[in-house]
Amino acid sequence: MRVLILGADGYLGWPAAMHFSAKGHEVEAVDNYFKRKTCLELNCESLLSIPNLHARAALWESLTGKRIVVKIGDIADYSFISEVFKEFRPEAVVHFAEQPSAPYSMMDQAKAFFTIQNNLLGTLNIVYAMREFCPDCHLIKLGTMGEYGTPEIDIEEGWIEINHKGRRDTFLFPRQASSLYHTAKIQETDLLWFYVRTWGIRVTDLMQGPVYGITTPEIEKDQGLATSFHYDEVFGTVVNRFVVQAVAGHPLTVYGQGNQVRGYINLIDAISCVYLAAEIPADAGTLRVFNQITETFSVNELARRVRAAGVTLGYDVVVQSVENPRVEKESHYYNPKYTGLLELGLKPHFLTEELLKEMFRVVSQRKEGIISDNIFKGIKWKG
C-alpha cells in the first residue's frame, strides 16, 4: 500500500512512518518542520536529540533496506501538496500535520491565527488533492477526545441518535472543546463530514487522547531513530511531563483540583491504531470515528502513579497543585466509550509501573538536558 504520512517529523509521525515501512508498505513522509522551528524559537526543543527527517530516513534505510521518501513542504500550500499527491497517488493518507498544542493556540492572536490557518486550510487542501488525484484514497485523520469536552452524558464513539419530540435522527456526537486547538479539530470534523457526504470520500477520524511513552519496536533498533520527546508546557503531554518533572526534582504540576479525567494511550498503541485503521479502511462515503484511548485517569491518579514509580527508583517526588492556567472543569462526569479499536484488533499496552520505570530510565540518561524553566510557564487561557 502507498501510504503518505503528513507531519512525519512529529512524535507520532516518525514512528508511524517507520511502522508502515517495516510492514512492507511504500511510505512517503512529509513535514514542514513547524514544530522544530517553533521549539527552536521558544527554546523548548525535544529532550532526546532527533536527527532531521532526511537523516533518520537514511539511517532507517541503512538498517532495514527499506526506503522512506522525504518531502519537506507545507500542506497549507496547495501547489506543494497537490504535486505530492499527483506524483505519489497514495492509497492511504495519515494526517498528523497539524499544529498540535492547546497552549500554543491560546498564547496570542498570531498563534491562534496560525492554528486555524494551518490546520483547517491544510486539511482542506488534502481533501482537494485526494479528490483530484486519488478519490478512492483513505484519509486517516487525527482528531482528539478533547473535541467532546466533558459533557454530562456518556460520550459515544463519534455519533449519537437523538430522539426529539417523537422523531429521531443520528448526528455527530456534540462537540465543545476547551482550547482553540481542540476547537480547530471540531471544525475539521465539520469539514470532513461535509465532503464525505458530498463527494463520497472515505475518512477515519481517530479521536485520540493524550499519548505517553518514549519508544516503539522500530525506535528500539537504534537510538538515532528516536522520536521527539517534549516535556515543556507547549508540546509536552502530561505523563511525559510528569516523568521529566520527577527526574528533574521539580514538583509534579497538577492543575487545580486535579480531578480532570481524560482518556490516555501509549505511543505504541497510538501507532497500532493508525495501522489498523489503514489495514481496514472506512467505506467510501463514510466518516468512521474511533475513540482512540485505552484507559481513563484523573490527573491526580497519573501523578500518584508517576510518583509511585519514581519513589521505587529512589526519586523524591512531590506532587503540587498549581493554579489552573486553563479554563476547564476540575471535577466532572466522564464516561467515554472506546471499544471500536479493540474490535478492530488493538492489543493495548497499559500504563504500568514497568512502563513508567522504563521512561524514567531513558529520561534520566538525558537529565542534564532538562531546562527547568520550560517545565511550567503557566500559559493562561484568559491571558
C-alpha 41/C-alpha 48 separation (Å) is: 17
Find the shortest distance in angstroms from Cβ 282 to a copy of itself. Answer: 18
Binding site for a copy of itself (CB under 8 A): 78, 109-110, 112-113, 116-117, 120-121, 124-125, 128, 132, 151-154, 160, 162-165, 167-169, 171-172, 174-178, 180, 183, 186-187, 190-191, 193-194, 197-199, 327, 333, 381-382
Query: Whose Cβ is closer to a copy of itself: residue 333's or residue 350's?
Result: 333
Query: Is the Cβ–Cβ distance between 269 and 346 less than 8 Å?
Result: yes
C-alpha 291/C-alpha 195 separation (Å) is: 21
Query: Whose Cβ is closer to a copy of itself: residue 260's or residue 374's?
Result: 260
The catalytic residue among 11, 181, 255, 315 is 181
Find the shortest distance in angstroms from Cβ 122 to a copy of itself. Answer: 10
Query: Whose Cβ is closer to a copy of itself: residue 33's or residue 193's?
Result: 193
Query: Whose Cβ is closer to a copy of itself: residue 102's or residue 317's?
Result: 102
Query: β-strands 295-298, 2-6: how paired?
Result: unpaired
Residue with cell 498563534: 111
Residue with cell 493554579: 323
The catalytic residue among 185, 215, 231, 315 is 185
Find the shortest distance in angstroms from Cβ 148 to a copy of itself. Answer: 11
- Is 185 catalytic? The answer is yes
283-301 b/e (C-beta count within 10 Å ≥ 16 → b): eeeebbbbbbbbebbbbbe
Query: Is the Cβ–Cβ distance between 164 and 296 less than 8 Å?
Result: no
Find the shortest distance in angstroms from Cβ 194 to a copy of itself. Answer: 4
C-alpha 364/C-alpha 47 separation (Å) is: 11
Residue with cell 538498517: 63
Of residues 18, 55, 54, 137, the one with CA closest to residue 89:
137
The catalytic residue among 38, 123, 144, 294 is 144
Provide the greatest CA pair distance for the chain. 64
Find the shortest distance in angstroms from Cβ 113 to a copy of itself. Answer: 6
Query: Is the Cβ–Cβ distance between 357 and 214 less than 8 Å?
Result: no
Query: Whose Cβ is closer to a copy of itself: residue 211's or residue 289's?
Result: 289
- Is 144 catalytic? The answer is yes
Residue with cell 527527517: 53
Query: Whose Cβ is closer to a copy of itself: residue 110's or residue 314's?
Result: 110
Of residues 275, 126, 267, 257, the one with CA closest to residue 202:
126
Find the shortest distance in angstroms from Cβ 183 to a copy of itself. Answer: 4
Query: Is the Cβ–Cβ distance between 307 and 317 less than 8 Å?
Result: yes
Sheet strands side by side (includes 26-31): 68-72, 26-31, 2-6, 92-95, 138-144, 202-208, 287-292
Active site residues: 144, 181, 185
